[in-house]
Structure 1
Amino acid sequence: MDGEHREPCASHRRPALGDGFREESLAEDLLLLLFQPRSGTIAGEGTLFYVLAGAILADLGLGGHVRTGSGGVKGLTVEAVADSPPSDHLLRDTWEYLAEKPRGVQTVLAARGPALREPLLDRLIERGELRRRTRKTLGFIKTSVLEAGDSGRRSLLLADVRAVLVDEVGPTPRSAARAALLYGSGTLPQFDPDIPWTSPVIARAEELKDGNWGAKGTAQAVTRTVTSSIVSSVVAAGVLPRN
């Protein structure tokens, strides 16, 4: 359940996201996390396209499909790795866009983000992780509402983010990117009390946002560096609200 408190265990094992669940894209995971079961709404709609496009870029980084470069005054640039297209068509669309020429992160977010919500939502509904129901208001006006499905995946994702931010379990690159992008969406306070909005949690999220993802094996070093740079740049591009 969303309100269930997961106590850290002695071995600091993270929730078993892989047990019975195929790996989904980071953008799908984030959209599912941002769905609020109590209200049937998606949190952070105003900045959603930034977050989803940032997750697509992060997934391309994790898969070794893109590399980063310095764009000078334009900041971080991203370009496609030649002959390394991803199989997922949503990822591939962005990879092909980057294959035309290197582009700044902000340019990618603005160009690719607005078209992502509906196809990603359709995927979640097709798998039963969310349900779309039609109801009538005022007796005759039909409106579409979202409801939680029965897969249990959102609870596992929420527990994984909690493990990283609250229990300070060493993150995998994927879980670090997921937690940092959720923080960057500006919606993390809405997850309290499941993920308490406290100074230690904010400090931990800031570490992840800045690319401090902990020690990892050398085989992951390149993709980890590329992905953490992308995530940091996405958040700096204006996703995270400034007080």
Structure 2
Amino acid sequence: MLILEDYLLLTLDDVTGKAVVDASYREQVAAGALLVELALLRRADLAGDGDGGRVGRIVVRDPSPTGNALLDEALGVVRAREGSKPKALVAPLARLKPAARAIASLAERGVLRREEGRVLGIFPTTRWPAADTRHEDAVRADLRRVLVEGGDPDERTAALVAVLSATGQAGRVLAAGGSGGGEEWTAAHRRAADRRAKEIARQSWGSEAVRAYVQEISAAIVVGASVAATAAATS
């Protein structure tokens, strides 16, 4: 599973198939998650002093195919815009509609179920309830271990937490799925999970280069989400 797919599973209600967080900027978050994935695969990185370019700009380390069509398209976008700041890549990657395509892929693989309906009997809607929760349950259990029980994350879990932290959604997605520990999941629990997520996002959970890259992408997600939310409010 991609980090993007983990994020989407966490933010969709298993029963209703509705988003449990603000979905107006979901494609922007998905774009950032693709950039994070490319970092973990060591395909893309931030230029350093020895790269012959401007430090802090995105550089492609390995252009070879990843084996995932969506991720390969994202890598192509990055290659075409190599030397850009991370925030400049969020919009063009969002135009690939990565969230919509990833959700459709999850449904094709039997993880989600597509349900068509109409609001007020007029407006068509599509919902995506869970069909197989085994992977999502494992992701939630790992997030609980890290965000609630104080465990140390591996590099991949820390990157997912960084994405959730950038959007302020860590506590909310855990609350939406239940605490998993039997106790009542309160607002205080959510705030504590959000604080822990921010702490992890600042920690040295991976290589310095990858961590710096993910921090830049997280900041870019916030910018992209803010632009999308503003556009939605004024449209």
TM-score when normalising by structure 1: 0.74
Deviation at 1:111, TM superposition (A): 1.2
Give yes or no for contact 1:131–1:146 (8 Å, CA) kept in 2.
yes
Q: Secondary structure at the match of 1:208?
A: helix
1:102 deviates by 1.9
**CA shift at 1:137, angstroms?**
4.9
How far apart, in 2, do the equivalents of 1:141 and 1:45 lie? 18
Give me the whole-angstrom Cα distance separating, in 1, the residues matched to 2:8 and 2:100. Answer: 10
The Cα offsets for residues 205-228 of structure 1, whole Å up to 9 and x where unpaired, read as: 112222432xxxxxxx6xx33332
Q: Are positions 1:209 and 2:201 aligned together?
A: yes
User: Partner residue of 2:71?
Assistant: 91
> What amino acid does structure 2 have at the position aligned with 1:205?
A
Give 1:131 deviation, angstroms. Answer: 0.6
User: Residue 126 of structure 2: SS of its match in structure 1?
Assistant: strand
Find the counterpart in structure 2 of residue 126 from structure 1.
108
Show CA shifts across 1:188-238 (max 9, x none): 342325272134x3332112222432xxxxxxx6xx333322221122235
- TM-fit CA distance, 1:133: 1.2
SS at match of 1:76: coil
Check conservation: 1:49, 1:117, Cα contact below 8 A.
yes
The alignment covers a number of residue pairs equal to: 207
CA contact (8 A) 1:48 1:185 kept: no
Q: How does 1:25-64 map to 2 (within 5 A)?
A: 25-42=2-19, 43-64=21-42
Please state whether the residue corresponding to 2:27 is helix, strand or coil. helix
The reply to whether residue 106 of structure 1 matches residue 83 of structure 2 is no
Residues 56 and 137 (structure 1 numbering): CA distance in 2 closer, same or farther, change over 3 Å?
closer
Residue 81 (structure 1) aligns with:
61
Report the secondary structure of 1:37's partner residue: coil
Quick check: 2:32–2:90 contact (8 Å CA) kept in 1?
A: yes
Please give the per-residue CA displacement for 1:53-94, whole angstroms capped at 9, x wherever unaligned. Answer: 1211111111111121269xx983212124433221211112
SS at match of 2:152: coil
- CA distance in 1 between counterparts of 2:150 and 2:56 reads 28
Paired AA for residue 26 in structure 1: I
* Partner SS for 2:128: strand
More helix by share: 2
Higher strand residue share = 1
**Superposition RMSD in Å:** 2.7
CA distance in 2, matches of 1:171, 1:85: 28
Structure 2 residue runs without a partner (length 5+): 180-184, 227-235
What is the deviation of 1:142? 4.7
